[in-house]
Amino acid sequence: MNYHWNWGIFWEMSPEGTGTYFDMLLAGLWWTLATSALAWIIAFSVGSVVGVLRTLRSGWVVMACNAYVELFRNIPILVQLFLWYFVLPEVLPAEMGRWLKTMPNAAFWTGSIGIGLFMSARVAEQVKAGLQALPRGQWMAGTALGLTTAQTYRYILLPTAFRIILPPLTSEMLNTVKNSSVALTIGLMELTAQTRAMQEFSFQVFEAFTAATILYLIVNAVVTLAMRWVEKMAAVPGYTTGH
Amino acid sequence: MAMIRLEGVSKWYTPQFQVLKDCTLSVAKGEVLVVCGPSGSGKSTLIKCINALEPFQAGSIVIDGAKLPDPKTNLPKLRSRIGMVFQHFELFPHLSITQNLCLAQEKVLRRGHEEAMAKAMMLLERVGLTAHAHKFPGQLSGGQQQRVAIARALAMDPIAMLFDEPTSALDPEMINEVLDVMVELAGEGMTMMVVTHEMGFARKVADRVVFMDGGEIIEDRPTEAFFGSPHSARAQTFLSKILAH
Ligand SMILES: Nc1ncnc2c1ncn2[C@@H]1O[C@H](COP(=O)(O)OP(=O)(O)O)[C@@H](O)[C@H]1O
Ligand SMILES: [Mg+2]
């Protein structure tokens, strides 16, 4: 192989004129972090609500939420992003479609929401599983004390369920970070997209992707460590959630 | 006047499976009722109906003037006035003992934290667990957890207490510490309905014993009569089995 290694490439100016190649990757990293964070906030909040609703005793609510989960879980994330980004503005009334298309940072907003909703289906699965892992007696004990259904979930069921599902939720957070790279297909210049741009300008493909790999590993190491810390903070003396 | 009155209560889990058959029963204020019967006879279902934790399809229940089923009855309020103790304690594992006792006082009865805490400490002293106030349920023995569960129910100042086999998940050496608390409670005039196979307890504190089988109330008699004179063959078989050892 006749490859010319050049680890100094990161400190050379990129032809984009916005700084060095390293600055380019950092800009990508910033969009990756922003997209992952917003997507996770959406995934966690929507997923929690849908997960809770799926455990209620109301037939049509459960059915609607099951349909939601199946829909978002079973359509490839790439297709979902294309639907939100390319198809939705066309099927909306002209005025709204135009507004969507000309919105600043459209790729970021669409990507975050699209990835967030895709991940919310998976979070909903976890939340439902966590709630169903609790003995039915816990619901009864809360209800028998006069707590409303909302209070029973808020003060009793959810705090225990979330403790049980902290490890799988950590995986879903990591998946959210990894999935954020799919947003490059709708033009978001996140880390993977910037890495490819760097490769195309400089032809230093190995250096570029090594740097990207390391940056992704660092981000996910931070997420993992942070979640370990959360698990430690949430641990209850004498209560093992068992995994 | 009856504190709890069931009139022809019937319940089906499925159209084919009737779990309660025309159950009629009343518990007067201050009365202690023991409910016994073979496993699967519907005892748990019966007391869950009284606390509106399970719906039923026929008949009615009146608790201190509040009627079931009745759309006008405020269910959370009704439930908060009836204490319930479960076979598996059902303490909230992520809350400390005092938090277990304060939660519903604050969220349902809207007591201030100080007041709730004072009540909690008073009740913990009563069940002999003051030293464990700061611990979590997982750090207590089964007997201690069940005494906390009784204190948690009492913290709501209930008008009646329902117990569903409160000692049957306990190691033998812990049964008495729980029964002692219940005997004391009965002595203070608490209205109680207790599902149990502890016949020593029944003899000592029950005013009446109800025997259920196959979803039906087969016998409902004063304690002396239940244990003394002849009764239905089914109750006799049941008693001979549980009194054999
Ligand atoms: N949620 C339920 N759905 C269907 N069947 C049930 C349910 N709960 C209890 N059963 C059935 O109802 C019968 C009575 O149960 P239960 O009231 O728990 O009896 P006991 O407390 O006397 O042992 C049993 O046959 C049991 O299997
Ligand atoms: Mg039972």
Q: Are strands B160-164 and B192-195 parallel, antiparallel or unpaired?
A: parallel
CA distances from A98 to A91, A133, A186, A188 (A): 11, 47, 17, 19
Could you report the per-residue pLDDT of A41-50, keeping only the tens digit for each? 999 999 999 9
Three-class DSSP category at B4: strand
Give percent of chain A with pLDDT exceeding 90. Answer: 88
**Ligand 1 pocket, B19 CB below 6 A?**
yes
Could you report the per-residue pLDDT of A102-120, keeping only the tens digit for each? 899 999 999 999 999 999 9
Q: Are A243 and A193 in contact (CB under 8 A)?
A: no
Euclidean distance between the first and final Cα of chain A, in Å? 48
**Ligand 1 pocket, B39 CB below 6 A?**
yes
Residue B211 main-chain phi, psi, to 5 deg: -115, 125
CA nearest A141 in B: which residue?
B90
| Whole-model pTM over 0.95 | no
Q: Where are the alpha helices (DSSP H) in chain B?
A: 43-50, 75-80, 97-107, 113-126, 142-154, 172-187, 199-205, 223-228, 233-243
Alpha-carbon distance of B47 to B12, in angstroms, equals 15
User: Is the pLDDT reported for residue A147 higher than 50?
Assistant: yes
The pLDDT value given to residue B230: 65
* Between A151 and A101, residue with greater pLDDT: A151
The pLDDT value given to residue A151: 97
Find, among B182, B237, B244, the residue nearest to B211 by Cα. B237
Amino acid, res. B183: V
Q: What is the mean pLDDT of chain A?
A: 94
* Residue A14 CB neighbours (<10 A): 20
Put simply, the answer to whether A146 touches B139 (Cβ < 8 Å) is no
- Name the residue with the closest Cα to ligand 1, atom 5: B13
Alpha-carbon distance of A98 to A96, in angstroms, equals 5
pLDDT mean over A1-16: 88
The CATH number of the domain covering residues in A26-234? 1.10.3720.10
Report domain extents, chain A: 26-234
Chain B residues with CB-CB distance to A143 below 8 A: 53, 76, 79
User: Of the candidates A143, A151, A156, which has its C-beta nearest B92's C-beta?
Assistant: A156
Ligand nearest to the CA of B212: 1
The pLDDT value given to residue A242: 55
Sign, Cα dihedral of A180, A184, A185, A186: positive
The pLDDT value given to residue A243: 46
User: Is the pLDDT reported for residue A161 higher than 80?
Assistant: yes
Q: What residues of chain B score a pLDDT lower than 70?
A: 230, 244-245
pLDDT mean over A135-143: 96
Put simply, the answer to whether A141 touches B93 (Cβ < 8 Å) is no
Put simply, the answer to whether B86 touches A135 (Cβ < 8 Å) is no
Q: Which residues surround ligand 2, an ion (CB under 5 A)?
A: B 44
The helix-helix angle for A59-74 and A106-133 (nearest 10°) equals 130
- Cβ neighbours of residue B113 closer than 8 Å, sequence gap 6 or more: B102, B106
Three-class DSSP category at B12: strand
Task: Write the ipTM.
Answer: 0.93
Q: How far is CA B226 from the centre of its chain?
A: 20
Put simply, the answer to whether A137 touches B90 (Cβ < 8 Å) is yes
User: Is the pLDDT reported for residue A23 higher than 90?
Assistant: yes
CA nearest A151 in B: which residue?
B107
CA distance A165 to chain B (A): 14
Alpha-carbon distance of B97 to A108, in angstroms, equals 47
